[in-house]
Amino acid sequence: MPELPEVETVANGVHERVGGQRIVSVWLSSKPQTFKTPAAEMAAALEGRGIERVRRVGKHIVFDLDRAQDSPADSSSSANIQPVSVQPVNVQWIVHLGMTGRLLVSSPDVPLPAHTHAVLGLSSGRELRFVDPRRFGRLAIHSSATSDDAASPAGFQGPGREPLAIALPEFQALFRGRRLAIKSALLNQSLLHGVGNIYADESLFRAGIRPKRMAGRLRRAELERLHGSVQSVLREAIALGGSSVSDYVDADGVRGFFQLEHKVYMRTGQPCLVCGTAIRKIALGGRSTHYCPHCQR
DNA sequence: CATGTTTCCTGACAGC
DNA sequence: TGCTGTCAGGAAACAT
């Protein structure tokens, strides 16, 4: 179940393997719900593009594509001269891994895994493949006008604030007046994006806060602890290559190791590593939620 | 608008 | 062995 640390690991790994290469061919499966952008439109937007950078925004993987071929009908005219009337456009390929999505870089000789939904042929001769058995993943094209303001990078921004960048006052303001459980608020991607079930539970444990506490009623000091614990949990998980739970692997097929650091997630009934109390599991918003009833108030 | 609930999908696993 | 049933979960759609 890829969350921010796993997505960051995958994005970095894919960047190392395909950054600087050109997309020479595109094949997409016939599973329309996988494509937020219609498949034909997506294929046309990708084919011939160079991949400048692959990076993470929230739980999304963003492929920044070059603009070398924005005017294909005009290819006979001199290169690099854009008509003044045409606004330059940023084109990005957005990949969300959902639950079981994987991005693999393979030789074409390697048989296609089951549930392959996209194959991009690359100028290196290798293929970038999107494989997703459960099909909660999504692919989309994001187009946006470029900004002349170099300070504000144009393009896909994601639905919420970046947990690793947000300052304490803004973090505290996110939850002000909210009448839902803090766990649910942490999972709401339009507030903070990137935190999922594992890191929400682990962050709340470190901060000593019960998952069901109403977000808007947390004290300033509690939100300060939570701000710190969200960032420390995510940073430590990134350093360990993410958590391998069920079938998550990074772009190399290597498993992460942060699951060895989990204090509450999937430890139902086992003793709390701090106080020995049995870890409790409850359902909250339809999601399994794990906490220590002694350490978390 | 804010919040809560349902739905999508398949593989893994338990139990018989 | 092989079947059936249950569970997992991100985020969009839908309901309240």
pTM across the whole model: 0.87
The CATH fold of domain A168-291:
Helicase, Ruva Protein; domain 3 (1.10.8)
A213 is annotated as an active-site residue: no
Find the Å distance, CA of residue A209 to C1' of nucleotide C12: 29
A159 is annotated as an active-site residue: no
Find the Å distance, CA of residue A210 to C1' of nucleotide C16: 26
Torsion of CA A76, A79, A80, A81, to 10 degrees: -50
A2 is annotated as an active-site residue: yes
Residues A85-96, mean pLDDT to the nearest whole number: 79
Interval A225-248: pLDDT, tens: 999 999 999 999 888 876 554 444
- Which entry of A49, A59, A126, A129 is annotated as an active-site residue? A59
Question: What are the sequence ranges of the domains in chain A?
Answer: 4-145, 168-291
Contact A23, A48 (CB under 8 A): yes
Q: Pick from A80-94, A219-233, A240-254 the range whose average pLDDT is largest.
A: A219-233
Determine the pLDDT at residue A144: 80
Interval A18-46: pLDDT, tens: 999 999 999 999 877 888 999 999 999 99
Residues A134-157, mean pLDDT to the nearest whole number: 76
Interval A109-131: pLDDT, tens: 988 888 999 999 999 999 999 99
> Is A30's CB less than 7 Å from nucleic acid strand B?
no
Architecture (CATH level 2) of domain A4-145: Alpha-Beta Barrel (3.20)
Give the nucleotide at minimum CA-to-C1' distance from A246: B12
